[in-house]
């Protein structure tokens, strides 16, 4: 599974960083969340899906 963040939709509220800090980080310069890994490790897949569901603007795209 892969995951991407659409920078045009990201509000920078850092919720995804709280839900799955192993996969998401916050870029202080751009004030947006970013993805830290190319492929999501299996143990974090459910947390990434949860972060995507909870992302208010729908900026997180899960690619299975």
Structural domain boundaries, residue 7 = 2-63
pLDDT along the chain (64 residues), means of 10: 97 96 97 96 98 97 96
pLDDT for residue 10: 97
**pTM across the whole model:** 0.93
Residue 36 DSSP class: -
pLDDT for residue 53: 97
Asked whether the beta carbons of 10 and 58 are under 8 A apart, the reply is no
Tell me the per-residue pLDDT of 35-52, one tens digit each, with 9 for 90 and over. 999 999 999 999 999 999
pLDDT for residue 24: 98
Say which CATH number the domain at 22 has.
Answer: 3.30.70.20
Total structural domains in the chain? 1
């Amino acid at each position: 599974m892969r995951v991407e963040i659409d920078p045009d939709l990201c509000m920078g509220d850092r919720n995804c960083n709280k839900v799955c800090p192993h996969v998401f980080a916050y870029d202080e310069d751009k004030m947006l969340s970013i993805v830290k890994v190319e492929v999501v490790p299996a143990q974090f897949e459910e947390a990434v899906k949860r972060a995507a569901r909870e992302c208010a603007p729908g900026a997180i795209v899960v690619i299975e």
